[in-house]
Structure 1
Amino acid sequence: MRGENDAGRKRMIRTDADVLEALEALSEQDHRLAPVLRTAGTVPLRRSRSGLEGLIAIVVAQQVSKASADAIFSRLSSSVDLTRAEAILAADEAVFRTAGLSRPKHETVRAIAEAIAAGKVDLPRCEAATAEAAIAELVAVRGIGPWTAECYLLFCAGHRDVFPCGDLALQAAVGHALGHETRPTARQLGDIALAWQPHRSVAARLFWAYYSAIHRREIVPAAEAKTPGAKQVSRQKTEPAPPGQRRRSAKPLS
Structure 2
Amino acid sequence: MTTLHWRVALPAGYRQGDVMAFHGRDAEGVAEQVAPDRLRKAIVYGGVAVLLEVDFTASEAVCRAEIDGPVSEGLRDALHEVLNNILGLRIAPEPFAQLVANDPLMGPLVRANGSLRIVQSATPFEALTWAVIGQQINLPFAIALRRTLILQAGRQHSGGLWCYPEARDVAHLNLEELTVRKFSRAKAGTLLRLARLVHDGELSLALPATGDVTAVSQALLNVKGIGPWTVNYALLRGYGYADCSLHGDVAIRAALQKLLKEDSKPDLARTEQWLRQYAPHRTMAAAHLWASLQA
Shorter chain as normaliser: what TM range? Answer: 0.5 to 0.7
Q: What is the one-letter code of the residue matched to 1:106?
A: A
Matched, 1:193 2:266: no
Matched, 1:151 2:233: yes
Matched, 1:102 2:184: yes
Q: What is the one-letter code of the residue matched to 1:73?
A: R
Which whole-Å CA distance do the structure 2 matches of 1:89 and 1:45 have between them? 29
Q: Which structure ranks higher in relative contact order (CA pairs < 8 Å, sequence separation ≥ 6)?
A: 1
Corresponding position of 1:165: 247
Corresponding position of 1:36: 109
Please give the secondary structure, in 2, of the residue aligned with 1:196: coil
Per-residue CA deviation, residues 163-189 of structure 1 (Å, 9 max, x unaligned), is 211223323433443466764332222
Q: 1:170–1:204: 8 Å Cα contact kept in structure 2?
A: yes
> How many residue pairs end up in the alignment?
203
Please give the secondary structure, in 1, of the residue aligned with 2:270: helix
Q: 1:59–1:109: 8 Å Cα contact kept in structure 2?
A: yes
Cα distance change of structure 1 residues 174 and 91 upon mapping to structure 2, 3 Å threshold = closer
Which whole-Å CA distance do the structure 1 matches of 2:117 and 2:222 have between them? 30
Which whole-Å CA distance do the structure 1 matches of 2:177 and 2:293 have between them? 38
Which whole-Å CA distance do the structure 2 matches of 1:127 and 1:33 have between them? 32
Q: CA deviation at 1:84?
A: 3.9
Which whole-Å CA distance do the structure 2 matches of 1:22 and 1:101 have between them? 40
After TM superposition, the structure 1 stretch with the greater mean CA deviation from structure 2, 145-154 or 59-68, is 59-68
Matched, 1:77 2:150: yes
Matched, 1:50 2:123: yes
* Residue correspondence of structure 1 range 207-226 to structure 2 within 5 A: 207-213=289-295
Please give the secondary structure, in 1, of the residue aligned with 2:100: helix
Identity %: 25
TM-score, normalisation: structure 1: 0.65
Cα distance change of structure 1 residues 128 and 98 upon mapping to structure 2, 3 Å threshold = farther
Q: 2:167–2:196: 8 Å Cα contact kept in structure 1?
A: yes
Q: CA deviation at 1:209?
A: 1.2
Which whole-Å CA distance do the structure 1 matches of 2:121 and 2:198 have between them? 20
Q: What is the one-letter code of the residue matched to 2:122?
A: R
Q: CA deviation at 1:210?
A: 1.5
Structure with greater proportional helix content: 1
Q: CA deviation at 1:137?
A: 1.8
Which whole-Å CA distance do the structure 2 matches of 1:127 and 1:158 have between them? 15
* Residue correspondence of structure 1 range 108-123 to structure 2 within 5 A: 108-123=190-205
After TM superposition, the structure 1 stretch with the greater mean CA deviation from structure 2, 193-202 or 38-47, is 38-47
Corresponding position of 1:223: none
Larger radius of gyration: 2
Q: CA deviation at 1:192?
A: 2.2
Unaligned runs of 5+ in 2: 1-80, 155-163
Unaligned runs of 5+ in 1: 1-8, 214-254
Corresponding position of 1:142: 224
Cα distance change of structure 1 residues 185 and 130 upon mapping to structure 2, 3 Å threshold = farther
Which whole-Å CA distance do the structure 2 matches of 1:157 and 1:186 have between them? 24
What is the aligned-residue RMSD (CA, Å)? 3.3
